[in-house]
Amino acid sequence: ISDRIITLTLELHHNTRSTFVSCYATTMASNEQEKDEFYNQLRDVISSCHHRDKLILMGDFNARVGTDYQAWEGVLGRQCVGRMNSSGLRVLSICREFSLSITNTFFQGLASHKQCYH
């Protein structure tokens, strides 16, 4: 798809498919145009997935999604850490748009396992 996004669709049994989307998002140092291009491309990729596919979106989003699980109900669970940054808002918006959840925020675990840097 691009140098930042790759997909894999697996045909499973009984006409079931899983589509994996892996990405490496632009960094905070990237300009707004580069960020917009990446997230628009990601939207296009997600939109192109069949509605019956089990979609798994993963990657390095260079984002902090914050702790406001009430405002992002269904997207964020109660086990989130840190303060939201602008990339986090973009990730949350895409998740809401496509009814996706950030699953590691729904399960208890060490905070150090939920982020790559402190």
12/29 Cα distance (integer angstroms): 40
Class of the domain covering 1-62: alpha beta
- Which residues does 40 contact at the CB level (< 8 Å), separation at least 6? none
Number of neighbours of residue 59 by Cβ within 10 angstroms: 15
Q: What is the pTM of this model?
A: 0.85
Phi/psi class of residue 30: alpha, beta or left (left: φ > 0; alpha: ψ in -120 to 50)?
Answer: beta
| Number of residues in the chain | 118
Q: Where are the domains of the chain?
A: 1-62, 66-118
For 56, the 3-state DSSP assignment is strand
Can you give the pLDDT at residue 28?
A: 87
- Considering only CA atoms, which of 94, 88, 98, 31 is closest in space to residue 62? 88
Q: Tell me the pLDDT of the chain (118 aa) as tens digits.
A: 789 999 999 999 888 999 999 999 999 899 999 999 999 999 999 999 988 899 999 999 999 999 998 999 999 999 888 899 999 999 999 999 999 999 888 888 766 655 544 4
Both tokens of 93, joined, read 């918006």
Helix H or strand E encompassing 9: strand 5-11
Helices 86-97, 32-48: axis angle to 10 degrees equals: 20
- Considering only CA atoms, which of 82, 76, 79 is closest in space to residue 110? 79
